[in-house]
Structure 1
Amino acid sequence: MKRILPFAFAFLAACSSGGPVPQLDATQSRQEARQFFGAQTSASVGDPESIGFYSNGCLAGGQQLAETGPTWQAMRLSRNRNWGHPELLDYIQSLSANVAANTSWEGLYVGDMSQPRGGPMLTGHASHQSGTDVDIWMLPARDLSLTREERENLSSISVRSRGGAWINDNWTAEHAEVLRLAASDPRVERIFVTTGVKVWLCRNVEGDRSWLSHIRPASGHHYHFHVRLNCPSGDRNCQNQASTGSDDGCAEAEERAARILAPTQPGPPNPTPPPPQPPRGMRVALGDVPQQCLSLISSGLN
């Protein structure tokens, strides 16, 4: 973890003493919120609530997915990212049971969900902040008795080929069935997959294709698919992403695949490329998070 600036320690100390959330001056407001949310190791007390946007929000009263269930295992436990809104936990449990009942998979390997109190993460994600996102591994779950050590070291599989424009031999019809089951739940807003997966689905799915509108191509999603739920009912401080509507998204996917495959002209050399920056959602400033999230940090710290 990067060094938390002195103000961060003062802020957390004030929170843990039960005092009011301090007013932030201009300098303090610019501190990255991920330093604070990444330091939380337990959920806040109180009723569950998803707050804010998927890339600028937090999670009140989060619940932890059991490390192992009858049809799932949570992976990479050392990250402590198997937290979410109760709706997300119910979704994972229901989906994994459906997968086990309808495919040869024993269930699901569950990747990152959210931190105990949501918010921006120190590494890895711009989203997953409000307890409504989960990554599901593309690796078929064949063994649900993995040890903690095995879950740290086992890798998922990539289903990407041709730079992401198509799928490779790891892709199976059962992957498509898993995605159909995942996207058919009415709580789902979006499921992100590598472009080639979306193209394959568009070209091969027959019969009811209504669920395809929820499947959207996104870079990097070839070892896992990323499910995002709608805001839970009654969570008035939660902000939904714009709906995908009824458009199946197939034309967009074909265009993305064509761009991936198109030859590119080399640009002028850049002798001093800028240093890489974390995604914008990870760089949310403390002064820009929803006010309810500042109050959330102040509750239940010991």
Structure 2
Amino acid sequence: MVKFSCRLSAGLMLASSVLMAAASPSGAASPLAKEAFSAAREPAAMATRSIGFYSKGCLAGAATLPIDGPDWQVMRTSRNRHYGHPATVAFVEKLAERAAREDGWPGLLVGDMSQPRGGPLPYGHASHQIGLDVDIWFRPMPEKRLTVEQREDYPFRSVLKKGTFQVDDTIWDKRYAGLVKLAAEDPEVERIFVHPGIKKKLCETTRGDRGWLNKVRPYYGHNEHFHVRLSCQPGSDGCKPQASTGTGDGCGDLGWWFNVALQPPKPGAKPAKPKPPMRVADLPAACAAVLAAPSAGGGASQPVAVTAPPVPSAAPPAAMFPEAGPVPPLPVAGPRPGARPSN
């Protein structure tokens, strides 16, 4: 068992050396960012500020989403990733309430947000670094509340037919589409990432106003959850926004995903060269100060002693990328990503 207090002490000891190491003229002397930020177990006692880009930055003055709310539960609590900009916490609370009241959703299962001080995560995401990202499971909250221990291994559930890229209509109903629509219509939301098969389903079934579909973008994985990304917030001058998605519903971009991106690599194709891990010195300069700042205190909503989960390998679970199945031919149109992106 790993005690919270031991983790906190280790995190503070590491953070105290960050400023000197980050300032070292040798880039190699700078600590690995994923290790430094995951060791910080509580938010920094600083004014709230998202610093840098979604996949290269950090978070000062984070707010904490309680692990239990009237209409939500935080999953995988041992990861200590239920922190975010106050706007993100407010968004989750508001979405959970509206989904229950307007969409009949039984309650949200909330996945990863950000670490107490943001920054690169040791596994699972390239983004989620500046407190403006949150994963919402495509699985309703069970009627009987899950214990903290049960949340560690409560299974994900894909909404796709096994072995295909198509939505399983025995799982999917109008409440699922309604939940995504509720999130997309929030003015704070910049993007929502879903599996291309889910985007296709929404394109085929949405009637009337389709403007909200512009925010819903196809992406690798995301068949078991959808990823909500908020816009840069006032007061975060160092936050770097994403490029505009333009106008339209984005449904014309699906051909590339099904016909190219989701297909198995060609025999003999060289795997993409992995990027070197980021170091603290690679992040915006203000992130070193965020790591070295004193703790805000009370960063964890419940200091639960749990066994830390094993760190997964770099390869994602096979279930996230089902084998190619029958998909109607689609026109190849719209912008096409080049190399496989990471979110």
Indicate the percent of aligned positions where both proteins have the same amino acid: 40
Q: 1:74 matched to which residue of 2?
A: 74
Q: Is residue 2:22 matched to residue 1:12?
A: no
Which of 256, 275, 283 is residue 289 of structure 1 equivalent to? 283
Q: What SS is found at the alignment partner of 2:190?
A: strand
Q: What SS is found at the alignment partner of 1:226?
A: strand
Q: Identify unmatched segments of 5+ residues in structure 1.
A: 1-7
Contact 1:33 1:120 in 2 (8 A): yes
Q: What SS is found at the alignment partner of 1:235?
A: coil
Amino acid at match of 2:42: S
Contact 2:15 2:40 in 1 (8 A): no
Q: What SS is found at the alignment partner of 1:25?
A: coil
Contact 1:164 1:257 in 2 (8 A): no
Which whole-Å CA distance do the structure 1 matches of 2:162 and 2:211 have between them? 27
1:117-176 deviation digits (Å, cap 9, x = unpaired): 000011111000000000000001233622101111211210123766321232222110
1:28-50 deviation digits (Å, cap 9, x = unpaired): 35642111111110000022111
Q: 1:114 matched to which residue of 2?
A: 114
Sort the Cα spacing of 1:268 and 1:56 in 2 relative to 1 into closer, same or farther, 3 A. Answer: closer
Which whole-Å CA distance do the structure 2 matches of 1:57 and 1:163 have between them? 36
Sort the Cα spacing of 1:145 and 1:21 in 2 relative to 1 into closer, same or farther, 3 A. Answer: same
Q: CA deviation at 1:224?
A: 0.5
Contact 1:189 1:244 in 2 (8 A): no
Contact 1:88 1:132 in 2 (8 A): yes
Contact 1:163 1:260 in 2 (8 A): no
Amino acid at match of 1:248: D
Q: Is residue 2:87 matched to residue 1:87?
A: yes
Q: CA deviation at 1:269?
A: 8.5
Q: 1:64 matched to which residue of 2?
A: 64
CA root-mean-square deviation: 2.7
Q: CA deviation at 1:198?
A: 0.2
Which whole-Å CA distance do the structure 2 matches of 1:61 and 1:55 have between them? 18
Comparing 201-210 and 136-145, the one that deviates more: 136-145
Q: 2:141 matched to which residue of 1?
A: 141
1:34-73 deviation digits (Å, cap 9, x = unpaired): 1111111000002211111000010101011001011111
Q: 5 Å matches for 1:1-302? A: 12-14=15-17, 23-28=23-28, 31-143=31-143, 145-161=145-161, 165-168=165-168, 169-259=170-260, 266-268=266-268, 277=274, 280=275, 283-300=277-294
Q: CA deviation at 1:27?
A: 3.9
Which whole-Å CA distance do the structure 1 matches of 2:148 and 2:96 have between them? 20
Comparing 35-44 and 253-262, the one that deviates more: 253-262
Which whole-Å CA distance do the structure 1 matches of 2:277 and 2:163 have between them? 28
Q: What SS is found at the alignment partner of 1:178?
A: helix
Which whole-Å CA distance do the structure 1 matches of 2:269 and 2:252 have between them? 34
| Count of residues in Structure 1 that have an aligned counterpart in Structure 2 | 285
Sort the Cα spacing of 1:154 and 1:298 in 2 relative to 1 into closer, same or farther, 3 A. Answer: same
Which whole-Å CA distance do the structure 2 matches of 1:288 and 1:128 have between them? 17
Q: CA deviation at 1:25?
A: 2.2
Contact 2:22 2:280 in 1 (8 A): no
Contact 1:162 1:261 in 2 (8 A): no
Q: 2:320 matched to which residue of 1?
A: none
Sort the Cα spacing of 1:13 and 1:50 in 2 relative to 1 into closer, same or farther, 3 A. Answer: closer
Which whole-Å CA distance do the structure 2 matches of 1:269 and 1:60 have between them? 42
Which whole-Å CA distance do the structure 2 matches of 1:185 and 1:170 have between them? 25
Q: CA deviation at 1:203?
A: 1.1
Q: What SS is found at the alignment partner of 1:160?
A: coil
